[in-house]
Amino acid sequence: MAVLFGGKTGLVELSQCLLNPGDVCLVPDPGYPDYWSGVALAGAEMAFMPLTAENGFLPDYSSLNEQQLNKAKLMFLNYPNNPTAATATREFYRDTVHFAERNGIVVASDFAYGAIGFDGKHPVSFLETPGAKEVGIEFYTMSKTYNMAGWRVGFALGNPQVIELINLIQDHMYCSLFGGIQEAAAAALTGSQESVRRLVATYGRRRDALFSVLDDIGWQAAKPSGSFFCWLPVPKGHTSVSFADLLLDQADVVVAPGSGFGAHGEGYVRLGLLADEDRLREAAERIGRLKLF
């Protein structure tokens, strides 16, 4: 195991461990922008894997060309997904293991939102898949599950050789993460998970409250199956940026333009379930008054 100074740190370090200039990293589009940061610091190149609604916001490996696959050394996945709020299936992860084996690619599964699933379904971990520990690793953070964002603690598990490389680079960059924080993280992981169940239930109520009003105002969108985000299509005649600006200027509602997460994020905005139910209903009602749908 590698103990991390926050999950983001490990995600950026991994590219520096595994990639050289000219190597290719497969990254989801849309996706978490700090995957790009690590690849850039390593001097490597990116090949984007489009995440589309038609494919359940899962990458289609058959769309990658031979040149990309010959140079690819690393691939990032993130489910439950930021920003699309999609979750992965066991079948998808089985396909991923076979794909990685065939092409000699290390899989980096970002499981930051792994505790947050809805409708009685728990998100699947990549490491549950037979063969996953041979081809990849998984990152976890205490931030989302236990509200420990400012504590900056996470960890990675999986392929021993890859974990060893992360620990080696951290030996040169850090001393040790404060022991008290490590003990607090261990207590959170091994203690009662009732607080986690309450947290997930809270996000679920917020999701349902928001979407009840979205339905009323005619904003058709898929409910998130995981994470605390909503991925909402913009109305015709708008880009993700122009629509986000409109909501801020005329409804006093802040959303993130999907184009900030990659080219295939265009046409969507991301909204967080980070306010209480009444506040989320109010936001949707303000948007409804604009008569955009």
pLDDT per residue over 270-283, tens digit each? 999 999 999 999 99
Q: Which long-range contacts (CB under 8 A, 24 or more apart) does 98-102 make?
A: 98/131, 99/61, 100/75, 100/135, 100/136, 101/131, 101/134, 101/135
Return the residue matching tokens 């400012």.
150
The backbone torsions φ and ψ at residue 268, rounded to the nearest 5 degrees and listed phi first, read -135, 160
Q: What is the pTM of this model?
A: 0.94
pLDDT tens readout for residues 185-237: 999 999 999 999 999 999 999 999 999 999 999 999 999 999 999 999 999 99
| Structural domains in the chain, sorted by start | 2-190 (3.40.640.10), 194-288 (3.90.1150.10)
